[in-house]
């Protein structure tokens, strides 16, 4: 570097670049101490840079305190890669026609039109066999990129190995699945923790909470894990397993009836997603059982019920549009052959209740 070039360098910008380079080289989320060691910068400077980048959505901070690349970084990168587009055909398979997934489909359609990409979008109707067939069809059609919102986290390995053999990039969306090249999901452990914190506050730190899980994907398992982790901090609270849900309101209604039939005294309910929670709420309202429910997603119907006073009183909101946008951008980056790409991106959720839900931009 020439003396003239050094003269015009801004130290804060240079240190910011060091932090971003350190995260890139690590290829995974890093804590403050590790970033300090990797950059050689003062810990206070690294902390200030990480906080500033997090506020600007260039980084995200996980529940474990580690930092990872944020959604805005991928949005900016998409502009830089537009002229060297390497993805022309994309296949997307998703579990069922539920509002969250339909919001993802709409965003993919918008992104595809803007980029001149052909898309093949298919609903698996909650069937792993259907999803396997969808992916096989994408491979036969010679797509450049497959996006999969998995019906199950295990069970797609064989067909995804065929995609890899065909040199097709695969990005899992919303939940990880074995065999994918990368994953873009919400920090579901944090979502569960936020939901637990809310229901613990509402119940005054004591009572029994029923858990209604969803389908067998890592997103739901992480939500339950995050919820139980916070519950363990409250000695006067306990959790019981309610009937399992699927992804829709009907499964929530069935779960609610099973819980009521059990005769267990329940003070609160945590549902794996809003649609399950809305189904539970419908039955509780019919039975005049004023039991508070907290769920995950931040869907429009859930927000409306939160503002109306329940029974659904809170939701750990995630953003399906941003998930899909980041997944597509990550897939394009991987397809371009870039080696400096983070292969696991987890976007931060936010907890909604009647105090802040009115300011939330809903989807669905």
* Per-residue pLDDT, 202: 96
- 77-81, 190-194, 229-233, 331-335 — which is least confidently predicted? 77-81
Q: Check pLDDT > 60 for residue 1.
A: no
Q: Per residue in 158-168, pLDDT tens? A: 999 999 999 99
* Per-residue pLDDT, 338: 63
Entry pTM = 0.76
Alpha helices in the chain (DSSP H): 3-7, 11-26, 32-39, 43-55, 71-81, 99-115, 128-141, 157-165, 188-202, 218-231, 249-262, 274-286, 300-308, 320-335
* Per-residue pLDDT, 2: 46
* Per-residue pLDDT, 362: 87
Mean pLDDT (the chain, rounded)? 90
* Residue located via tokens 């990480």: 50
Alpha-carbon distance 336 to 96, whole Å?
30
pLDDT band at residue 27 under the 50/70/90 scheme: confident
* Per-residue pLDDT, 209: 97
Q: Check pLDDT > 60 for residue 19.
A: yes
Which residues does 327 contact at the CB level (< 8 Å), separation at least 6? 147, 171, 173, 184
Nearest alpha carbon to residue 327 among 170, 203, 179, 221: 170
* Per-residue pLDDT, 281: 96
Q: Percentage of the chain with pLDDT > 90? A: 73
Q: Percentage of the chain with pLDDT > 70? A: 94
Q: Check pLDDT > 50 for residue 263.
A: yes
Q: Per residue in 212-226, pLDDT tens? A: 998 888 999 999 999
pLDDT band at residue 85 under the 50/70/90 scheme: low
Alpha-carbon distance 114 to 178, whole Å?
30
DSSP 192-238: HHHHHHHHHHHTTT-EEEEEE--SSSHHHHHHHHHHHHHHTT-TTEE
**For residue 106, with 0-12 CB atoms within 10 Å meaning exposed, 13-18 middle and 19 or more buried, which class applies?**
middle
pLDDT band at residue 246 under the 50/70/90 scheme: confident
Q: Per residue in 299-354, pLDDT tens? A: 999 999 999 998 999 999 999 999 999 999 999 989 887 656 788 999 999 999 99
* Per-residue pLDDT, 143: 96
pLDDT band at residue 80 under the 50/70/90 scheme: low
pLDDT band at residue 242 under the 50/70/90 scheme: confident
């Amino acid at each position: 570097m020439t003396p003239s070039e050094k003269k015009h360098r801004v130290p804060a910008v240079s240190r910011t670049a060091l932090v971003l380079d350190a995260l890139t080289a690590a290829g995974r989320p890093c804590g403050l101490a590790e970033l300090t060691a990797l950059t050689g910068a003062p810990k206070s400077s690294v902390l200030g840079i990480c906080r500033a980048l997090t506020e600007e959505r260039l980084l995200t901070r996980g529940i474990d305190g580690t930092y990872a690349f944020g959604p805005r970084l991928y949005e900016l990168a998409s502009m830089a890669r537009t002229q060297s587009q390497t993805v022309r055909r994309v296949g997307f398979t998703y579990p069922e026609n539920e509002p969250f997934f339909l919001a993802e489909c709409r965003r993919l359609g918008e992104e595809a039109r803007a980029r001149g990409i052909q898309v093949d979008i298919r609903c698996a109707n909650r069937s792993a066999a259907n999803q396997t067939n969808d992916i096989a069809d994408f491979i036969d059609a010679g797509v450049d990129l497959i996006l999969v919102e998995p019906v199950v986290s295990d069970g797609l390995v064989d067909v995804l190995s065929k995609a890899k053999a065909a040199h097709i990039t695969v990005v899992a969306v919303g939940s990880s699945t074995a065999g994918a090249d990368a994953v873009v999901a919400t920090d579901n452990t944090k979502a569960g923790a936020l939901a637990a914190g809310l229901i613990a506050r509402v119940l005054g730190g004591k009572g029994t909470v029923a858990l209604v899980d969803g389908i067998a994907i890592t997103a739901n398992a992480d939500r339950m894990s995050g919820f139980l982790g916070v519950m363990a901090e409250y000695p006067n609270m306990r959790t019981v397993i309610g009937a399992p849900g699927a992804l829709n309101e009907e499964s929530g209604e069935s779960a609610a009836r099973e819980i009521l039939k059990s005769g267990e005294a329940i003070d609160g309910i945590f549902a794996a997603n809003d649609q399950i929670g809305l189904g539970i709420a419908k039955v509780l309202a019919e039975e005049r059982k004023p039991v508070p429910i907290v769920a995950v997603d931040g869907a429009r119907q859930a927000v409306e019920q939160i503002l109306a006073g329940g029974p659904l009183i809170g939701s750990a909101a995630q953003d399906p549009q941003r998930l899909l946008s980041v997944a597509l951008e990550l897939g394009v980056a991987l397809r371009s052959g870039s080696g400096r790409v983070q292969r696991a991106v987890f976007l931060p959720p936010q907890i909604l209740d009647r105090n802040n839900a009115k300011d939330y931009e809903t989807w669905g």
